[in-house]
Amino acid sequence: MLPAARFPYIDSDPAHPGSSLMPYVPLLLAHGQRTMALTGLLDSGATVNVLPYHVGIQLGLDWVEHTTPVQLTGNLAQAPARAVVLHGTINPFAPVRLAFAWTQLSNVPILLGQVNFFLEFDVCFLRTQAIVELRPKQA
């Protein structure tokens, strides 16, 4: 079994240090020849991974070419979304295929949800320590 990678929670509101710690993790997303270093919010309550529109555009995605609709839920239920598959890397682990609901909204974070981030990684939230541990699924 590979050892877990540990990541500190990130302060999402620097104006109030320590009051808004969130489990953001660094990741590389790739599509074709384009790769971006980003952060994604681990959201165990999210049904699917969500990709903001502007990130998809920067990765070279074309909204017209991706025609499979995805119905988002909760606060994003009214936002149109399309299915896309990207390669995601969380160092030090090997890349995995990550399915995203690519939404036309840009004012949302990258969400890493049940389908399929939590199917690819075991996640342990250590909130009192402000740490999250990740380990790839075992084959």
Instruction: Answer for the pair 99, 49: CB distance below 8 angstroms, yes or no.
Output: yes
pLDDT attached to residue 103? 98
pLDDT attached to residue 131? 98
pLDDT attached to residue 106? 93
What does the block give as tokens for 14? 């620097």
DSSP helix/strand/coil, 10: strand
What does the block give as tokens for 84? 């896309």
What does the block give as tokens for 68? 């499979």
Tens digits of per-residue pLDDT, 52-71? 999 999 999 999 999 999 99
pLDDT attached to residue 35? 98
Tens digits of per-residue pLDDT, 96-126? 999 999 999 999 999 999 999 999 999 999 9
Instruction: Answer for the pair 89, 26: CB distance below 8 angstroms, yes or no.
Output: no
Is the pLDDT score of 12 beyond 90? no
Tens digits of per-residue pLDDT, 14-35? 888 888 999 999 999 999 999 9
Host H or E run for residue 28: strand 24-31
pLDDT attached to residue 1? 72
Q: Give the start-to-end residue ranges of the domains of the chain.
A: 22-136
Topology given in CATH for the domain delimited by 22-136: Cathepsin D, subunit A; domain 1 (2.40.70)
Q: Model pTM?
A: 0.95
Reference 27, options 125, 107, 83, 95; nearest CA is 95
pLDDT attached to residue 13? 86
Lowest-pLDDT range of 9-13, 56-60, 93-97: 9-13
What does the block give as tokens for 6? 């540990």
